[in-house]
A and B are shown apart, each in its own frame.
Chain A
Amino acid sequence: MTEEPVEPETDAPAPTDEAPSEPVEPETDAEAQSAEAPSSDVGRELRVRSRRGFIVAGVAAAAGYGAWRLLDGAAKIGGVQWPLRRAFEFEERLTEAYFKPSRLSPTFSTEAITRARINGGVGLGPDVGAASWRLRVEGIDGRAPSELTLDDIKALPRNDMITELRCIEGWSIVVHWTGARLTDLMARLPPPRGTRYVAMETPGRGYYVGLDMESAMHPQTLLAYEINGQPLSWQHGAPLRLAIPIKYGIKNIKRIATIRYTNIRPADFWAERGYDWYAGH
């Protein structure tokens, strides 16, 4: 099996290709003598061409299989063969170059809302309620880390959006989210100018995601405290989770305990398990 195109020119015989109906020019001078080639000469010509054609085909197939074995057996970075990881990163740069924050995830009417499927409980921990919960923000420009209560978040402008949550598994649901824009929090507790990433973690760092700054600043990136008009349940990430339709569901981290601004590319739970770090739309 090959996965890389072999250059058509490579060590292959190059018969001069003209109109298909034209007779084949013999390969050797001796054969060129016989314009009205008897069958035996045609047979010889065919044998020469067949041998060469099938040897080239065999070599190409072997080379392709070898390339496949190399790729499949390549050292892994974050659970995936390094050339595939590099491809993810290349595609991330392409997308970031093309990215416009004005491109929004489509929004829907309330009739389009689907059942809020429960999926993924990594890092949720025990259901202890919201009273003792605090959101810790680290890496604020020129300031010590700050701790906020849910009321602090609710004091920020309230936003509603009905958007599609696309799971990396291929299914999607339409959800009504209510919450504060992450950019509004970041305006109050700003990162240093030019900060590249935002990291988020659940209590005890059971689950963690990394976001590029443009996606974090996207107008549809919400710190959500309600789902479909109800306060978040424990399974949906109470008391505060991320609703980020510009990314796959895996980045919509539940039960956020820590937000950190950083210039070091943050670790990401699923990116360490073979998935694309960027995971963006």
Chain B
Amino acid sequence: MMKRLEKKHPLAIRWFHWINFPILALMVWSGLLIYWANPVYRIGIGSHTLLKMTVAEKTYEKLHVAYRLAEGISFHFFVMWFFAINGVLYVLYTLISSEWRFLVPNRHSFAEAVQVLLHDLHLRREAPPPRKFNGAQQIAYTAIILMGLGSLLTGLAIWRPIQFGWLTALFGGYQAARFFHFWITIGYVVFFVVHVAQVVKTGWNNFRAMVIGVEVVND
């Protein structure tokens, strides 16, 4: 068996990825400072609430996110520019470099994603194909970009609901835009948990490739 190094992630994509990580963390953190002031969302059906998307006031205080609305807004409206710029540059890069071909799902991706899921749940022996990104990854990494776009657009609709009144109306009004903005953020948190779990499971060689760009391949 022959070991060799193979290029995996382009330098630009590694930078976009790792710059986005702290930026998105800051956006979620400052968003939480804002959400504290009106933490109204829940998971439930009709009047039956399964889970309130909030914690006791004392817990907010212990987490140091209480009474920091002004701070949350000021950081949110500062960091949002870096989030938007980094995201737009990433998308432009994937388009210009043709990297999008690896990332965007095709007609086989969805069937493959099911196989990957079954494999990860130990319900299917056969491993996913050794491509750069399997179908499940293609769907996840494209969905996260669409979520980013969703955050920007719903954010714009909340930020200037009259100057961009058409956009706010498109989302079904001011409160509806805020609702989507919140749930997309929960989506990031879920993505983060699954993403980190998958990276841990896949191992060091894969993680290292996201830092140094190359990975060791056994022929």
Contact = CB atoms under 8 A, between A and B. Distances in A.
Consensus secondary structure, chain A interface: loop
B70 A2 contact: no
A198 interface: no
A53 B5 contact: no
Contacts of B120: none
Interface in A1-24: 1-6, 8, 12-15, 17-24
Contact of B165 (A37, A45, A80, A103): A103
B22 A3 contact: yes
Contacts of B74: 80-81, 84-85, 87-88, 274, 276
Nearest to A15: B213
B25 A1 contact: yes
28 contacts: A1-B22, A5-B23, A5-B82, A5-B85, A8-B15, A12-B15, A19-B7, A21-B7, A22-B7, A42-B216, A45-B5, A49-B5, A80-B74, A87-B77, A87-B78, A88-B74, A104-B162, A106-B173, A164-B174, A166-B174, A168-B69, A169-B37, A170-B35, A170-B37, A170-B38, A246-B162, A275-B73, A276-B77
Contact of B162 (A18, A50, A91, A103): A103
Interface of B: 2-12, 15-16, 18-19, 22-23, 25-26, 34-35, 37-38, 40, 69-71, 73-75, 77-79, 81-82, 85-86, 97, 102, 132, 160-163, 165, 169, 173-175, 178, 208, 211-214, 216
Contacts of B2: 39
A246 to B, nearest CB: 6
Contact residue range for chain A? 35 or more
A20 B11 contact: no
A202 to B, nearest CB: 21
Given A53-B212, A54-B212, A171 B19 contact: no
Interface in A61-95: 64, 68, 79-81, 83-85, 87-88, 91, 95
B8 to A, nearest CB: 6
A106 B163 contact: no
A145 B190 CA distance: 60
Contacts, number: 160
Consensus secondary structure, chain B interface: helix
B75 A84 contact: yes
Contacts of A22: 6-7
A99 B164 CA distance: 10
A3 B26 contact: yes
B169 A106 contact: yes
A57 interface: yes
